[in-house]
Amino acid sequence: MPAFRSCVSSVLAAVLLAGRVLVAAAGSVESPARVEIVDDWTIRVTLPTAQGPLCATFVIDHPDTMVVSGEKHERLPEFNAAAAPWGKGAVLAGVRAAECTVTGSLDPQSVVVRTGPSDDSKTLQQGKDWEADLEWGTIGRVAGGGIAVEQPVWIDYRHTPRRIDSVVLGEDCSLRLLRGAPHIVLCEPPAIAPGSSRLANISISGPIAALSPNCLFPILETSYPEPDPDLPPQALARLPETLRRLRSGEKLRILAWGDSVTTYGRWQQMFVDGLKDRFQDADIELITEAWGGRNTGSYLAEPPGSLHNFSEQVLGQQPHLVVSEFVNDAGLSPAEVASRYGQLLDDFRGIGAEWIILTPHYVMPAWMGPGFVAKEQREIDDDPRPYVAGLRDFTANHPEHVALADAALRYGRLWRQGIPYLTLMENNINHPNVAGHRIFSDALLALFGAPAAR
> What does the pLDDT read at residue 452?
61
- pLDDT by residue for the chain (454 residues), tens digit each? 343 333 333 333 333 333 333 444 456 678 899 999 999 999 999 999 888 899 999 999 999 999 999 999 999 999 999 999 999 999 999 999 999 999 999 999 999 999 999 999 999 999 999 999 999 999 999 999 999 999 999 999 999 999 999 999 998 889 999 999 999 999 999 999 999 999 999 999 999 999 999 999 999 999 999 999 889 999 999 999 999 999 999 999 999 999 999 999 999 999 999 999 999 999 999 999 999 999 999 999 999 999 999 999 999 999 999 999 999 999 999 999 999 999 999 999 999 999 999 999 999 999 999 999 999 999 999 999 999 999 999 999 999 999 999 999 999 999 999 999 999 999 999 999 999 999 999 999 999 997 765 4
Question: Are the C-beta atoms of residues 46 and 53 closer than 8 Å to each other?
Answer: yes
Question: Are the C-beta atoms of residues 320 and 245 closer than 8 Å to each other?
Answer: yes
Q: Report the alpha-carbon distance of residue 78 to residue 387 in Å, rounded.
A: 38
Q: 39 phi and psi, to 5 degrees?
A: -150, -165
Handedness of CA 190, 191, 192, 193 (dihedral sign): negative
**Planar angle of CA 297, 305, 360, nearest 5 degrees:** 30
> What does the pLDDT read at residue 28?
66
Show the DSSP H helices in 250-377 as ranges.
260-263, 267-278, 296-301, 310-313, 334-350
DSSP string, 161-190: -BEEEEEEE-TTS-EEEEPPPPBSS---PP
Question: How far is Cα of residue 354 from the mean position of the Cα atoms in its chain?
Answer: 28
* Segments making up each domain of the chain, as ranges: 4-62+162-218, 66-159, 234-448
> What does the pLDDT read at residue 450?
78
Q: 396 phi and psi, to 5 degrees?
A: -65, -30
Q: Which of 103, 152, 96 is nearest to 124 (CA)?
A: 152
> What does the pLDDT read at residue 51?
83
Global pTM? 0.92
* Cβ neighbours of 83 (radius 10 Å): 14
* Cβ neighbours of 57 (radius 10 Å): 16
What CATH superfamily is the domain 234-448? Answer: SGNH hydrolase (3.40.50.1110)
Q: Which of 188, 257, 186 is nearest to 431 (CA)?
A: 186
Q: Which of 338, 342, 352, 354 is nearest to 401 (CA)?
A: 354
Question: Are the C-beta atoms of residues 338 and 376 closer than 8 Å to each other?
Answer: no
Identify the burial level of 371 via C-beta atoms within 10 angstroms of its C-beta, where 0-12 means exposed, 13-18 middle and 19 or more buried: exposed
Q: Report the alpha-carbon distance of residue 185 to residue 113 in Å, rounded.
A: 25
